[in-house]
């Protein structure tokens, strides 16, 4: 048995997977995001640990006798967050998350200081990454930086609590904007430009290797054997790819969670910083990936449901599908948390355009679904400028549960959407696969195979043509209002 734990933005998800790669049990514990100021997005690292313990407790009960047979644990997690620890390993301040835009000036400064950073790290500096966040903290909270002894990524704080060690994987290290992507090691040039001592950074390891062993007190509390292997794991983008079997050249998938990633696996390192495409290290040795990173996904639907006073999102989607007759007359820019690809604009805002006295809640909801789909279609054009994409794209994450949304997405992308078995577990399942590789040393090609296809959703030709026209309006609307942000 293998345990996979994914520390997301809105929740911690955990799964138990058996030797045949069947998911035996799942558990989820919610997380809240704090937004104390405009552009800010933070979480308390202690909340991650509490949520992990809650999910593990529930999972232990659900798994029954299988729990005692867990051989290894893998970790996945939200990328780019900056976690500062003092000498005792205690968080100094709340973690600054991936969708926090306060360090936009520092990102611009870092690009000026080191113009080649996009080639070294695989993407230009943007405010979502850990490196410019550290610059912001150094400038605005110098006492915090003075006390800092360790800079970690979110899931690696959980690893520290589990093992007592400081390590990270190549994907999350890339997402910190501090790694030399070609060499798969920390970049002294970037660290110097940021002012981070290399000794402050965790050891970068391949995701399928052993990063440490479960400490005795944690093992006892969780009902597992002391010394249980803890695999290095991966940032959620790469862990989701491992779950989807997107590990070989050209394999692609979309993760439609709180935020969204459009991911393509590559077998060589070819950064394309001019397109704002992220070229980062994959979770497996000798592999990389290119990714369009979007800060808004299923979180926009949750926002819309709250705005409309609809606690039951499933019922809201049913009502919206029942009212569907074609593209919504309302146009929605989904940039509630700013946007990364293709705009690199932390100041971007959400926009509902085309409202009239006759506008219905269902039309607004549909516009939100379409806005996320059109933002992915927008990003898809930039990805296709760097290399050919397949005609069939797997989709996982919470948004993939809605077949209605998948119909919209397939038509907006003009590609067949594949819903894989167990797709809703995404990165947690990928983390369990990496745990297995760390424990057994098996060939990744054998373990990381593509799951079975639960359903296929083909694009509707008429709807695809309509959404192609709406994408033109979508882009025009952003250009028209961007200066107002």
Catalytic (active-site) positions: 236
Structure tokens belonging to residue 401: 């549960």
Please answer whether residues 335 and 295 qualify as being in contact, where contact means their C-beta atoms are separated by less than 8 angstroms: yes
The token pair at 123 is 């993407």
Task: Please state, as a whole number, how many other Cβ atoms lie within 10 Å of the Cβ of residue 170.
Answer: 27
In 3D space, the residue among 184, 281, 186 whose CA is nearest the CA of residue 239 turns out to be 281
Which residues, other chains included, contact 379 with Cβ-Cβ below 8 Å and sequence gap of 6+? Answer: 262, 292, 294, 341, 342
Please answer whether residues 280 and 234 qualify as being in contact, where contact means their C-beta atoms are separated by less than 8 angstroms.
no
3-state secondary structure of 278: strand
- Cβ(70)–Cβ(1) under 8 Å? yes
Length of the chain: 485
Cα 323 to Cα 95, 176, 208, 318: the distances in Å are 42, 44, 47, 9
* Helix runs in 257-360, H state only: 298-307, 313-323
* Sole residue written with tokens 């800079």: 151
Those residues with Cβ within 8 angstroms of residue 102's Cβ, 6 or more apart along the chain or in another chain: 37, 39, 40, 96, 127, 133, 136, 346
């Amino acid at each position: 048995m293998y345990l996979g734990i994914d520390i997301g933005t809105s929740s911690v998800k955990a799964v138990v997977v058996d030797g045949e790669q069947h998911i035996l049990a799942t558990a989820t514990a919610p997380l809240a995001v704090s937004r104390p100021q405009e552009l800010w997005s933070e979480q308390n690292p202690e909340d991650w640990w509490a949520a992990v313990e809650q999910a593990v407790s529930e999972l232990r009960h659900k798994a029954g006798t299988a729990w005692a047979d867990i051989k290894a644990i893998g970790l996945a997690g939200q990328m780019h967050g900056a976690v500062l620890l003092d000498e005792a390993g205690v968080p100094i301040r709340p973690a600054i998350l991936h969708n926090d835009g306060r360090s936009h000036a520092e990102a611009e400064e870092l690009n000026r200081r080191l113009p080649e950073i996009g080639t070294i790290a695989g993407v230009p500096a943007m405010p979502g990454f850990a490196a410019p966040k550290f610059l912001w903290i150094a400038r605005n909270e110098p006492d915090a930086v003075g006390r800092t002894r360790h800079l970690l990524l979110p899931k690696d704080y959980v690893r520290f609590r589990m093992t007592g060690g400081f390590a990270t994987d190549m994907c999350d290290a890339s997402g910190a904007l501090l790694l030399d992507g070609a060499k798969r090691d920390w970049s002294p040039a970037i660290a110097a430009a940021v002012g981070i001592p290399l000794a402050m950074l965790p050891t970068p390891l391949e995701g399928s290797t052993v990063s440490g062993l479960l400490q005795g007190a944690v093992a006892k509390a969780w009902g597992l054997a002391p010394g249980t292997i803890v695999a290095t794991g991966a940032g959620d983008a790469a862990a989701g790819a491992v779950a989807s079997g997107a590990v070989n050249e050209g394999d692609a998938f979309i993760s439609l969670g709180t935020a969204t990633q459009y991911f393509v696996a590559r077998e060589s390192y070819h950064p394309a910083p001019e397109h704002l495409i992220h070229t980062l290290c994959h979770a497996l040795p000798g592999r990389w990936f290119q990714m369009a990173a979007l800060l808004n996904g299923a979180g926009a639907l949750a926002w819309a449901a709250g705005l409309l006073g609809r606690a039951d999102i499933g019922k809201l989607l049913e009502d919206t599908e029942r009212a569907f007759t074609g593209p919504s007359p309302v146009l929605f820019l989904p940039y509630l948390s700013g946007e990364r690809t293709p705009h690199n604009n932390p100041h971007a805002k959400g926009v509902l355009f085309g409202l009239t006295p006759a506008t219905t809640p269902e039309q607004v909801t549909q516009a939100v679904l379409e806005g996320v789909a059109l933002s992915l279609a927008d990003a898809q054009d930039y990805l296709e400028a760097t290399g050919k994409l397949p005609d069939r794209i797997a989709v996982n994450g919470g948004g993939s549960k809605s077949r209605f949304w998948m119909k919209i997405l397939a038509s907006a992308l003009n590609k067949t959407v594949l819903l894989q078995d167990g797709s809703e577990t995404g990165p947690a399942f990928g983390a369990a696969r990496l745990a297995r590789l760390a424990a057994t040393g098996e060939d990744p090609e054998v373990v990381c195979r593509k799951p079975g296809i639960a359903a296929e959703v083909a694009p509707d030709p008429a709807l695809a043509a309509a959404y192609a026209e709406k994408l033109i309006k979508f882009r025009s609307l952003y250009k028209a209002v961007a200066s107002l942000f």
